[in-house]
Structure 1
Amino acid sequence: MPDIISVKDFYEDASLLIPERIKKEIGHFNVFKTEELFATKPRTMPYNRRAYYKISLIIGKNRAEYADKVIHIENNALLFATPQIPYNWEPLDDNQTGTFCIFSEDFFAGSQSGIKLQDLPVFQPGGNPIFFLNEEQIDEVKLIFKKMFRELASNYAYKYDLLRNYVIELIHTGQKLQPLSALHTETSSSKRVSSLFIELLERQFPLEPPHQKLNFRSAKDYADQLSIHVNYLNKQLKEVTGKTTTELILERIVKEAKILLKHTDWNISEIAYSLGFEEPAHFNHLFKKHTTLSPRAFRV
């Protein structure tokens, strides 16, 4: 059984690999080799909502959990992880290599790129965060990471500008692997309203401490925040998604409930309260209606 490494331990282990002169930049950008960081034995990165973005070249057999998705990686993949969506990856063999970089949103703050990470397709909620690579694509990604290592160790005064460019290159490499439909956004009012609603909905998550509670639960709550009539919001969402506002809210609540049930030690009453249910029985009824399982049965 692989050992679990905590986020705290992850940074303590990683810091041993960081030159003293750049330790001050940890939390903004860093890059690691998987086999060096986890040299002693295979470890599982725990399911957690981290404070940084991560792009990983995964080489080896792995099982990845991303929000409520489970993806099996047989050989090679590129993973894009965002702080808004928790993930976990578990190595399934001892032959693990690869590279990953981590960076915070403020790594791009004040840069000339104008990049807003949360707006990029590879970091969108509900998207596909993992892309399988052929040998040619692996070589291209390895070269980008190689340039990151070289630049990070240099004394060049503008090295972090270059590193931002390398991160952007990795992002575009992933986005080119997405279907074209995922890369082109519509400009209709329905699409704009839908995007604003989804952004507002996703901002309610993740729920960290058990006493934290959803700010908005009803369709009217969201319509009021967007300064539009609830019927107009419902019509626009129905046109774009085929679902009503309430259906989308409840689907996202159930998705978060699955995450909390599987990957926290909160009791069911705490989970129900944090998701806006005053009575656990109401939460149990909704969850079973959407999943056919009770929360307790799903957690087992």
Structure 2
Amino acid sequence: MKKILVTGTNGQLGSELRVLSKRYTQFEWVFTDRGELDLCDLVHLTMELSRMQPNYIINCAAHTAVDRAESEFELADVLNHQAVAVLAKWSAKNDCKLLHISTDYVFDGTAATPLAESAPTTPINVYGQTKLAGELACAQECPSSIIIRTSWVYSSFGANFVKTMSRLMQERDSLNVVNDQIGSPTYAADLAQAVLTIIIHPTWQAGIYHFSNEGEISWYEFALAIQEIGGFDCKVSGIPTSAYPTPAKRPQYSLLDKSKIKATFGVMVPDYKESLELCMRLLQ
């Protein structure tokens, strides 16, 4: 029986993979978080991997606190870059298939059309820089790896935009949400299904792939959809990024082109609103 190791189990994607794993009993699943496998301990990481001997690694672990990363470069770099290099090096030496999760934040946000995997990567914040370094290390140390870039992830698990908006819309009379950053949300359950579709596909095709739900919206429009589905009585107003300064810059436009992952693996990409309704039903 093939063994799948999942890192970052307590995150949104890791949690959704745990739910989904119950339908994929042909695999032995090993779910780890920092307590079971500390990716910051680079010395012991290789030893632990050799002890576990996985056939697949799905790397969901990351330093994802975008604003905090600006003042925590070393920690972000260890998790998003150096640990990825160790996973990739071990995978290459041990004939293990590595699937690594990356981000739309590797782009600078100046594009005006959906971003293909070959688009230039010029990150504008520490999170994006360290994630790009992780991608490059992954591809260099383990050329057979698969990298999936995703965006605006949410789930019924963990902290995310959907849960925050749902809470605030019930607590406040009005909210301001940025309306000039464009992209598409990703329901982590859909991403988890895409990952499993790739793993059970007859051919493993190495490379970079993009996945998010279908749709081209701003955070403001995303908030309006949450309000509509939740039936919340709250005034939601759109504001420019300049009116909501944050420690880390965000890409203005990071809509991902999903045609490659669809064509290569037959991955289904649901519309963002359909998936949002499914998630919010779980939250009620």
Q: TM-score, normalised by structure 2?
A: 0.27
Larger radius of gyration: 1
> Would you tell me which structure has more helix in proportion to its own residues?
1
Q: TM-score, normalised by structure 1?
A: 0.26
